[in-house]
Amino acid sequence: MTTLGDSFHVYDTTLRDGAQREGISYSVNDKLVVARLLDSLGVGFIEGGWPGALPKDTEFFARAAAGDLELKHAQLVAFGATRKAGAKVHEDQQVRALLDSRAPVVTLVAKSDRRHIERALRTDVAENCAMVKDTVRFLVGEGRRVFLDAEHFFDGYAFDPDTALRVLESAVEGGADVVVLCDTNGGQLPLGLSRTVADVVARTGFRVGIHCQDDTSCAVANTIAAVQAGATHVQCTANGYGERAGNADLFAVVGNLVTKLGMPVLPAESLPELTRVSHALAEIANIAPDTHQAYVGSSAFAHKAGLHASAIKVDPELYNHIDPEAVGNGMRVLVTEMAGRASLELKGREFGIDLARKPEALSSAVRKVKELEAGGWSFEAADASLELLLRGELSELDSPPFALESYRVVLDHRSDGLIVSEATVKVHVAGERVIATAEGNGPVHALDAALRKALLPHLSWLDRVELNDYKVRILTDQHGTDAVTRVLVESTDGEREWTTVGVHGNIVEASWLALCDALAHKAMRAAADLVGS
């Protein structure tokens, strides 16, 4: 629960509306990881998708219900539409799918602009309101909490306020307990929007939420203005991902509510996590983080103005609107990237490593991380590689489980159309030199297969280790295929999952480095388990 409890809702829709952003395509596993990260921040609600409409979303809810997603703070929300016009609600397949999702909360989208009701939905206001009321009542009767997203509300209210309000009333009569005013086409500015929100609150007394799009570059400001006008439920997406210009950015909205308006909308311990979580969510979406993003961007507290540098050092609060550490960011004239002493020390604590007592190892780790990050490495989403690096600095690591002599990968697209990938590795393991060759679906798969073949007789735990996910990001574009490649590998042994990173100009070598870290991390844990048992 947030410190404001149910009286104020931070409602995240990264997994539904955020996924509308051009270029985003979450897998079901991605969605589970995103939900866990959002939950770790303490948001109140996570809208997971539209079960029934999109197969991946249906599967996401099924896996969540089956126990793959344990939430500590948030409630899971299924998004969907009302029953169809002229149909019976309990016979509507789409409404059924919302129940079947087993999500405790359902957000229904409904039209509230008469022009949309008549021209897009091709029905009348009375039937539209009946659709809303029937569907809300049905879901509430089945034990669900229901919110209403009133689509195109602001244009609708300006065009025909009575219709817009009737739609809200229908929802509340059906049992909905929040009506969310949506600036669906994003055309609002704060002054006009806040007047409408205040007006609706005054006229209806309903609990009002806000959902803003960024088409005027005012989504964050509009969201804040709505709160100041009486809204107590804000819908946001991580990093502002969303259709067209995007949605209101969760991190800026939360940053503003907490640090500017003094509203504790997230648990206090979450605030220093904002930067890390923002970057991790960008990695999962496979979108380069926006370096100039408010609060969490790597440049958000970077000062270039040379003439102020010394004054900034003495009196940073004169030049920064907040203390960057408060949101887990750093002022760049003092610290670069993520590699501040404080953040590495914090990360170390997560791994059970006390770096505060080893100032020299900490300094050396900070130096190494900075060097690597300058070359394109990123540990934000690769905890396992970072843990290996930190333990290496403390000389806590045994030697790696194997040593590479060489590998060769051959890819043939033959004249008969057959495509063959074959890899040969030469490694030293347990005092032996082993050569193994294997085929795979691609160069990395072949390399992984050959490595396993070579190591399996010598490493008892290897058969339980599998690759879960493999992500590739090309850095420093402008150079086409000549660029540096960053590979993230997620591994699992059936009990836990860990992520490692590799960076190189050659994608296969970058993958190799991440694969090696993945096995080294497992070997380290296996050794610790032996000691522990």
Rank residues 169 and 493 by Cβ distance to a second copy and give the closer one. 493
Q: From residue 226, how far is each of 212, 220, 431 by CA, in Å?
A: 10, 10, 68
- For the CB of residue 405, give the shortest distance to a second copy in the complex, in Å: 5
Among 440, 453, 461, 493, binds a second copy (CB under 8 A): 440
Told to check if 54 binds a second copy by CB under 8 A, we report yes
Report residue 462 as tokens. 């290897």
- For the CB of residue 358, give the shortest distance to a second copy in the complex, in Å: 27
Q: How far apart are CA 200 and CA 162, in angstroms?
A: 11
Told to check if 232 binds a second copy by CB under 8 A, we report no
Enumerate residues 131-190 that contact a second copy by CB under 8 A: 152, 185-187, 189-190
DSSP per residue, 143-157: T-EEEEEEETHHHHH
Query: x/- site string to a second copy, residues 371 to 410, per CB under 8 A?
Result: -------x-xx----------------------xxxxxxx
Q: Which strand (E) or helix (H) includes residue 107?
A: strand 105-111
Total residues in contact with a second copy, by rule CB under 8 A: 125
Rank residues 93 and 468 by Cβ distance to a second copy and give the closer one. 468
**Contact (CB, 8 A) for 270 and 41:** yes
Told to check if 476 binds a second copy by CB under 8 A, we report yes
- For the CB of residue 412, give the shortest distance to a second copy in the complex, in Å: 5
137: closest CA among 104, 175, 100, 164? 175
Told to check if 367 binds a second copy by CB under 8 A, we report no
100: closest CA among 29, 56, 52, 166? 52
Told to check if 527 binds a second copy by CB under 8 A, we report no
Enumerate residues 329-348 that contact a second copy by CB under 8 A: 334, 337
Q: What are phi and psi of 462, to 5 degrees?
A: -65, -30
Helices vs. strands in the chain: H and E counts, helices first: 17, 14
Torsion (CA) 219, 222, 223, 228 in degrees, nearest 10: 160
446: closest CA among 473, 477, 411? 411
Q: Which strand (E) or helix (H) includes residue 470?
A: strand 466-475
Q: Which span (1-9, 201-209, 273-281, 440-448) binds a second copy, by CB under 8 A? A: 440-448
Told to check if 102 binds a second copy by CB under 8 A, we report no
- For the CB of residue 292, give the shortest distance to a second copy in the complex, in Å: 5
Rank residues 136 and 285 by Cβ distance to a second copy and give the closer one. 285
Rank residues 74 and 518 by Cβ distance to a second copy and give the closer one. 518
Told to check if 228 binds a second copy by CB under 8 A, we report yes
Q: How far apart are CA 386 and CA 521, in angstroms?
A: 10
Q: How far apart are CA 483 and CA 489, in angstroms?
A: 19
Rank residues 255 and 401 by Cβ distance to a second copy and give the closer one. 255
Told to check if 217 binds a second copy by CB under 8 A, we report yes
Told to check if 364 binds a second copy by CB under 8 A, we report no
Told to check if 311 binds a second copy by CB under 8 A, we report yes
**Strand 432-440, strand 419-429: pairing:** antiparallel
**Contact (CB, 8 A) for 313 and 305:** no
Told to check if 419 binds a second copy by CB under 8 A, we report yes
Rank residues 55 and 104 by Cβ distance to a second copy and give the closer one. 55
Rank residues 30 and 92 by Cβ distance to a second copy and give the closer one. 30
Rank residues 122 and 357 by Cβ distance to a second copy and give the closer one. 122
- For the CB of residue 94, give the shortest distance to a second copy in the complex, in Å: 11
Torsion (CA) 487, 488, 492, 495 in degrees, nearest 10: 160
- For the CB of residue 170, give the shortest distance to a second copy in the complex, in Å: 21
Q: How far apart are CA 248 and CA 237, in angstroms?
A: 6
Q: Which span (19-27, 61-69, 174-182, 353-361) binds a second copy, by CB under 8 A? A: 19-27
Rank residues 2 and 256 by Cβ distance to a second copy and give the closer one. 256
Told to check if 469 binds a second copy by CB under 8 A, we report yes
- For the CB of residue 75, give the shortest distance to a second copy in the complex, in Å: 25
Helix boundaries (H) for 315-405: 341-350, 359-374, 383-393
Q: From residue 307, how far is each of 6, 89, 310, 311, 333 by CA, in Å?
A: 48, 67, 8, 8, 12
Enumerate residues 235-274 that contact a second copy by CB under 8 A: 240, 243-246, 249, 252, 255-256, 260-261
Rank residues 73 and 116 by Cβ distance to a second copy and give the closer one. 116
Rank residues 71 and 322 by Cβ distance to a second copy and give the closer one. 322
- Classify the phi-psi angles of 201: left when phi > 0, otherwise alpha if psi is within -120 to 50, otherwise beta: alpha
Told to check if 66 binds a second copy by CB under 8 A, we report no
Q: How far apart are CA 312 and CA 271, in angstroms?
A: 23
- For the CB of residue 472, give the shortest distance to a second copy in the complex, in Å: 4
Told to check if 3 binds a second copy by CB under 8 A, we report no
Rank residues 367 and 479 by Cβ distance to a second copy and give the closer one. 479
User: Does residue 216 sit in helix, strand or coil?
Assistant: coil
Enumerate residues 489-518 that contact a second copy by CB under 8 A: 489-490, 504-509, 511-512
- For the CB of residue 379, give the shortest distance to a second copy in the complex, in Å: 12
Rank residues 202 and 419 by Cβ distance to a second copy and give the closer one. 419
Enumerate residues 271-300 that contact a second copy by CB under 8 A: 286, 288, 291-295, 297, 299-300
Computed over its alpha carbons, how large is the radius of gyration of the chain?
26
150: closest CA among 110, 123, 178? 110
